[in-house]
């Protein structure tokens, strides 16, 4: 069983900073989705209006008046936004949960894999430990690139209980 303790004020500020970064990522993805909606809504209309009559345009699948057009367009954009969030490891809701419960965990494990993500703004660590529920767990360092850690090194990780955002990491 994992032991959890309460976070210090400094650790709370670190999580709040990670939350701000995640909020920026989500906002960026929403703007990408909005841009795609605008492009997908207007470009076909311009193309159709130059080639067809207004009556034919109104009956087209790409017409503003067609409910299926809006259904597939909004579905596509929502799926795209959630796919971007999943691919980039946005931890917004779990960080908020950590800031509510204020609990942190601490483990001492060997690193299995270390990799950079989100344009080198995040370092992710995969650890393997028999005592954990899952054999492998993924932990996130949200404050940039960490080059000092390699696979196989024994480390001590202090992390947010739900988000697994690393509050501090040190070699043992």
One DSSP character per residue, 72-141 reads HHHHHHHHHHHHHHHHTT--HHHHHHHHHH-EEEEEEEEEEEEEEETTTTEEEEEEE-TTSSSSEEEEEE
CA atoms of 132 and 93, how far apart (whole Å): 22
If one compares 85 and 106, the residue with the highest pLDDT of the two is: 106
Each residue's pLDDT tens digit, 48-91? 777 777 777 777 766 667 777 888 888 888 888 788 777 666 77
CA atoms of 74 and 82, how far apart (whole Å): 12
Residue 1: what pLDDT? 42
- pTM equals 0.65
| All domains of the chain in start order, with CATH | 8-90 (no CATH), 94-171 (2.40.50)
CA dihedral for 40, 41, 44, 47, sign (positive or negative): negative
Percent of the chain with pLDDT over 70: 86
- β-pair partners for 39: none
CA atoms of 21 and 144, how far apart (whole Å): 11
Q: Which tokens sit at 76? A: 């596509």
Residue 171: what pLDDT? 86
Using CB atoms within 10 A of its CB, is residue 172 exposed (0-12), middle (13-18) or buried (19+)?
exposed
Residue 38: what pLDDT? 81
CB 81 within 8 A of CB 25: no
């Amino acid at each position: 069983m994992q032991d959890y303790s309460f976070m210090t004020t400094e650790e709370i500020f670190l999580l709040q900073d990670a939350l701000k970064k995640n909020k920026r990522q989500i906002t960026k993805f929403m703007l990408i989705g909005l841009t795609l909606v605008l492009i997908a809504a207007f470009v076909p209309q311009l193309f159709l209006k130059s080639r067809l009559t207004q009556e034919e345009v109104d009956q087209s699948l790409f017409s503003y008046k067609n409910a299926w057009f809006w259904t597939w367009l909004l579905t596509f954009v929502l799926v795209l936004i959630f796919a971007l969030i999943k691919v980039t490891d946005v931890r917004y809701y779990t960080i908020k949960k950590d800031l509510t419960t204020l609990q942190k965990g601490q483990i001492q494990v060997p690193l299995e894999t270390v990799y950079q993500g989100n344009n080198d703004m995040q370092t992710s660590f995969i650890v393997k430990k028999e005592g954990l529920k899952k054999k492998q767990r993924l932990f996130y360092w949200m404050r940039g690139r960490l080059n000092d850690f390699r696979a196989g090194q024994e480390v001590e990780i202090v992390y947010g209980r739900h988000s697994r955002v690393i509050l501090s990491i040190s070699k043992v």
